[in-house]
Amino acid sequence: MANISYKCPTCGAEIFWDASAGKFLCKYCGDEFTMADMEASGQAVSAVDSQHVEHHEEIVNNEYTSSTDGTVGSNLVKYKCSYCGSEIITDRATAATVCVYCGNAVVMGEQLINDFAPDYVIPFKIDKSRVMQAFKDFSKKPLTPKAFDPEKVVEKMQGVYIPFWLYSGECEGCMDAEGVNEKTTRQGNYRVVEKSIYNVLREGKVRFKNVPVDGSSKTDDAAMDSIEPYDYKDMVPFKPAYLSGFLAERFDEDAEKCFERAKVRIENTTLDKLKASAPYDNITVRTYNKNIKKEKPKYALLPTWLLYTVYNGEKYFFAMNGQTGKFIGNLPIDKGKLTFCSILGAIAGAFLGYIFLG
Amino acid sequence: MIRKIIEKIGFMLIAHSLLFTPIVAHADGAGGVGIVVGGAIGGFVVGSMLVSMSKTKITATKAEKYVEGELELKRKQDQFVTTKTEKHKVS
């Protein structure tokens, strides 16, 4: 059996998941279909038949050095498009792509079965047409160079389902700290600060649910952290049909390895909660013991738009949460504007300084 | 290489004047301390604020959005140790 793709039940053309409509949309006859409609038409939208998936072919003798579908990565493999028979050269971790020759949506079944079978997915809610507008709005920052035109700098824009591990559990923490309460009074020409010092002990536990960490080595970790949070109310049990028309990756960093990033976040937040329970003006932690009891992590594919841009020979990467529309990235900075604005700030600061201290 | 050295020298000069001009002015009893200090702080704050608006990619270090329920305290102890008093002359 070939890789998974979907056909319009009315006209038989290739059919894709439409993010804004939340349905399958046939671009040829205009008909729309729900997931139930597609299932009723006998198409395997709900599950991958693990007995009949097509496996990749290895690339030999450096036959190809770059992917044909625009995926990032150097560990390439070969698939065959189920529609036109062309070769699809893609990264080994790709789970869904689009054939560059015929536009057919291809879902790689072998990347979605057994250990790689996702538990959940949040379907795309934002379609491509809204991404460019969001990028234009995002780039309107005071220090953005005038010549930075969003229409011209975008080299590649991809809707990608990124693999995420979701960690739940509880963190038990015990904090030993010094708490200080300060009281300031005025005695003649003296300011008197009275510091009451306490030994503070707090022990407690905090429950966490679905702390996300991306399981892709190719994706910028900070960028994925920055597009959080995802709204889990839209998270549904995984169905391969949601991937049609988008790129998707399977994880290449396992749950144990990725947990280190979640652990730091969970421990820091538990400490914050313990500190907040101690009402002191200053608190200095002497020791902090912690222990996380985690449940079996969930594996989910979460929607992300990735934008690769080039400006003045420099590469800039932007990402957008495909569900909430949150846009992140580091824009280029116009040094002239920065200098001018800083001088204005300095003049305002000097004026205030003259009034209050001069 | 030369550009980097010039940049470093430039930053050192700026840092030097930002730090020492107010101190020298203060020691001389000049009235411009507020202007110099206010100017330096104003320029720095506005510059940093605008740069942070252009840079939104940050590594997450907390998980407060994923906390379910409240902190469940098991042990709570606050033991008074001592009181310290500091006196500062107000100029």
Q: Coil, strand or helix: which one is A252?
A: coil
Mean pLDDT of A342-356: 86
- Residue A109 to residue A82: CA distance in whole angstroms: 12
Name which residue leads in pLDDT, A93 or A220: A220
The pLDDT mean for chain A works out to: 87
pLDDT value at residue A7: 81
CB contact (8 A) between residue A222 and residue B58? yes
Tokens of A51: 């007995």
Percentage of chain A exceeding pLDDT 70: 95
Looking at beta carbons, which residues of chain A come within 8 Å of B50?
141-143, 338, 341
Looking at beta carbons, which residues of chain B come within 8 Å of A338?
47, 50-51
Please tell me which of the candidates B46, B59, B66 has its beta carbon nearest to residue A222: B59
Name which residue leads in pLDDT, A121 or B17: A121
Looking at beta carbons, which residues of chain B come within 8 Å of A268?
61-63
- Kindly indicate whether the ipTM for this predicted assembly is greater than 0.90, answering yes or no: no
CB contact (8 A) between residue A358 and residue B33? yes
Question: How far does the CA of residue B6 sit from the closest CA of chain A (Å)?
Answer: 17
Mean pLDDT of A20-26: 83
pLDDT value at residue A3: 56
CB of B44 within 8 Å of a chain A CB? The answer is yes
pLDDT value at residue A103: 72
Give residue A246's pLDDT band: very low, low, confident or very high (50, 70, 90).
confident
Mean pLDDT of A52-80: 75
CB contact (8 A) between residue A329 and residue B57? yes
Q: What phi and psi values does residue A131 have, to the nearest 5 degrees?
A: -70, -45
Mean pLDDT of A265-287: 95
Listed in sequence order, the residues at least 6 apart from A95 whose beta carbon sits closer than 8 Å to its beta carbon are A107, A108, A111, A112, A116, A161, A243, A248, A249, A250, A301
Mean pLDDT of A343-348: 90
With 90 as the cut, is the pLDDT of residue A283 above it? yes
How far is it between the farthest Cα atoms of chain B? 61
Residue indicated by tokens 């319009």: A8
The lowest-confidence range among A77-81, A158-162, A187-191, A311-315 is: A77-81
pLDDT value at residue A219: 86
**A159 dihedral zone (left: phi>0; alpha: psi -120 to 50; beta):** beta
Burial group, residue A274, by CB count within 10 angstroms (0-12, 13-18, 19+):
buried
Question: Cβ(A226)–Cβ(B60) under 8 Å?
Answer: yes
Residue indicated by tokens 């679905």: A210
- Residue A26 to residue A29: CA distance in whole angstroms: 6
pLDDT value at residue A304: 93
Name which residue leads in pLDDT, B61 or A20: B61
Q: How far is CA A75 from CA A202, A224, A311, in A?
A: 49, 22, 28
Q: How far is CA A352 from CA B38, B40, B47, in A?
A: 6, 12, 17
Closest Cα to residue A333, out of A146, A154, A136?
A146
Query: Which of B37, B44, B46 should we substitute to test contact with A (largest number of A Cβ atoms within 10 Å)?
Result: B46
Name which residue leads in pLDDT, A149 or A180: A180
With 70 as the cut, is the pLDDT of residue A101 above it? yes
CB of B80 within 8 Å of a chain A CB? The answer is yes
If you measure CA to CA, which chain B residue comes closest to A351? B35
Mean pLDDT of A290-295: 95
Residue ranges in chain B modelled with pLDDT below 70: 1, 15-31, 91
pLDDT value at residue A2: 42
Tokens of A70: 């625009």
Instruction: Say how many CB pairs under 8 Å bridge A and B.
Output: 220
Looking at beta carbons, which residues of chain B come within 8 Å of A294?
none
The pLDDT mean for chain B works out to: 81
CB contact (8 A) between residue A265 and residue B62? yes
CB of B25 within 8 Å of a chain A CB? The answer is no
With 70 as the cut, is the pLDDT of residue A39 above it? yes
- Residue A196 to residue B84: CA distance in whole angstroms: 7
pLDDT value at residue A353: 80
Question: Cβ(B62)–Cβ(A225) under 8 Å?
Answer: no
Question: How far does the CA of residue B91 sit from the closest CA of chain A (Å)?
Answer: 8
CA atoms within 13 A on the CB side of A316: 24
Question: Cβ(B65)–Cβ(A228) under 8 Å?
Answer: yes
pLDDT value at residue B22: 63
CB of B3 within 8 Å of a chain A CB? The answer is no
Closest Cα to residue A111, out of A99, A87, A93?
A93
Name which residue leads in pLDDT, A281 or B42: A281
pLDDT value at residue A1: 35
CB contact (8 A) between residue A208 and residue B63? yes
Q: A105-107 and A57-58: which strand pairing? A: unpaired
Strand ranges of the sheet holding A76-80, from the earlier edge strand across to the other edge: A57-58, A76-80, A87-91
With 80 as the cut, is the pLDDT of residue A148 above it? yes
CB contact (8 A) between residue A343 and residue B43? yes
pLDDT value at residue B29: 59
Q: Coil, strand or helix: which one is A155?
A: strand
pLDDT value at residue A82: 73
CB contact (8 A) between residue A342 and residue B46? yes
Tokens of A348: 């305002």
Q: What phi and psi values does residue A267 have, to the nearest 5 degrees?
A: -65, -40
